[in-house]
């Protein structure tokens, strides 16, 4: 047995991906961090780039909690007490006190009866959504939903699948009307904040639309929202799309690996729904949980988010996001309105998008360039992400380099 026959086929496939500009290429390796100084935020060193220090504008660590002293101290203390790993899946012997305490905190934070941890937000979605879709269920999905939702639907084998145009409530209404009498249950699934654009699902309007049609379905309509980019970064108190729209999903999924600065994912819902998931979700039952130390760290991060310090960090995010959007508009770049720290620069051309990303890298700025087919043709962009670790001088430097490219 060997891979001698398969390796050439895999190499050919990689070559095809490269020719189609679908390869991500080699990953950049962070080798160290330079502390904030002289009015600038921290800088990052990369393998192969010598002593060049980079401004990072493509991080999901919106509140900078991954390097917060209180968070680091909590991880060290928990690792000293519980060790570095859980040692087993949770139903065998892998459940620790920090897991239970974090789940209680997350449920309270989101105003829910219960919460449940997973190893990542991606596995949360793929481990949760299929458990609520039967052979008599229609699943309805926003056209711009994340890849984890797309793959979770593929795992689900629903009675039907419908895609509505991004945030188009008229289209959603027509779908729910058309399927009356054809299925017993409907699951409407959407991102909260959309990762490529920084805009959000109109959850209040989605709920109102579902409420109008729910009586026609024997098992009702449920809403499921993945707000991984919203929680901890959006809304005055960091409770994401639900807070911003003043509406709640039946099932909410989010991550610990972005604004909370740690690792892992979770779901919050009713006690019955979470109890059902603990007994049925294979990604929970057969996978190790996050480590006890990670759970303790996430709890410490959540304590910061709900404190006065957290409110100040969130306010800074809003102000700096508005400042960056305003600066882009003054330079003549196209962006989208909003309060979220994802600030897209819409270039709408693959060559120009790649050129701008290369220009910023040459000037020691790390950004994410998004080209077709990652985004639809004509929607090519540079995704900028504001973090609480940034300073006014950082944004001024970024805007100056963008102005240089514009000229």
Q: Which residues are catalytic?
A: 195, 229, 258
**Dihedrals φ, ψ of 368, to 5°?**
-110, 120
Q: Which residues have CB under 8 Å from 190's CB, separation 6+?
A: 141, 142, 145, 149, 201, 203, 206, 223, 224, 225, 226
**Dihedrals φ, ψ of 38, to 5°?**
55, 35
The answer to whether the Cα torsion of 121, 344, 309, 312 is positive or negative is negative
Taking the C-alpha atoms of residue 234 and residue 214, their distance in angstroms, rounded to an integer, is 29
**Dihedrals φ, ψ of 303, to 5°?**
-60, -40
Residues β-bridged to residue 32: 45
Burial class (CB in 10 A: 0-12, 13-18, 19+), 36: middle
Taking the C-alpha atoms of residue 127 and residue 133, their distance in angstroms, rounded to an integer, is 12
Helix (H) or strand (E) holding 44, with range, is: strand 43-46
């Amino acid at each position: 047995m060997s891979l001698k026959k398969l390796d050439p086929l895999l190499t050919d496939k990689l070559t095809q991906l490269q020719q189609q500009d679908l390869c991500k290429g080699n990953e950049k390796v962070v080798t160290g961090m330079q502390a904030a100084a002289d009015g600038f935020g921290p800088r990052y060193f990369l393998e192969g780039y010598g002593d060049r220090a980079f401004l990072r504008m493509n991080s999901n660590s919106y509140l900078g909690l991954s390097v917060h002293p209180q968070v680091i101290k909590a991880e060290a203390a928990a690792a000293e007490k519980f060790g570095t790993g859980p040692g087993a899946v949770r139903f065998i012997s892998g459940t620790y006190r920090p897991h239970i305490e974090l789940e209680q905190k997350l449920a309270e934070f989101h105003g829910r009866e219960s919460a449940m941890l997973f190893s990542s937000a991606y596995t949360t979605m793929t481990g949760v959504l299929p458990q609520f879709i039967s052979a008599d269920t229609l699943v309805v999905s926003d056209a711009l939903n994340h890849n984890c939702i797309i793959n979770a639907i593929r795992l689900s084998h629903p009675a039907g699948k419908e895609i509505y145009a991004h945030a188009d409530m008229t289209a959603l209404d027509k779908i729910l009307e058309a399927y009356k009498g054809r299925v017993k249950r409907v699951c409407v699934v959407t991102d909260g904040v959309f990762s490529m654009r920084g805009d959000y699902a109109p959850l209040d309007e989605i709920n109102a639309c579902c409420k109008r049609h729910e009586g026609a379905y024997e098992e009702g309509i449920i809403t499921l929202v993945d707000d991984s980019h919203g929680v901890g970064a959006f809304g005055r108190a960091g409770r994401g799309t639900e807070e911003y729209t003043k509406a709640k999903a039946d099932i909410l999924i989010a991550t610990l690996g972005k604004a909370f600065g740690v690792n892992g994912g979770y779901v919050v819902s009713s006690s019955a729904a979470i109890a059902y998931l603990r007994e049925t979700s294979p990604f929970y039952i057969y996978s190790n949980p996050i480590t006890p130390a990670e759970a303790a760290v996430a709890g410490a991060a959540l304590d910061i988010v709900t404190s006065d310090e957290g409110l100040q960090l969130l306010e800074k995010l809003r102000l700096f996001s508005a400042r960056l959007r305003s600066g882009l508009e003054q330079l003549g770049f196209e962006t989208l309105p909003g309060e979220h720290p994802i600030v897209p620069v819409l270039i709408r051309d693959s060559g120009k998008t790649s050129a701008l990303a290369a220009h910023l890298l040459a000037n020691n700025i790390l950004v994410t360039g998004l080209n077709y087919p990652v985004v639809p043709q004509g929607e090519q962009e540079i995704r900028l992400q504001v973090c609480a670790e940034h300073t006014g001088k950082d944004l001024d430097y970024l805007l100056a380099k963008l102005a240089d490219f514009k000229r």
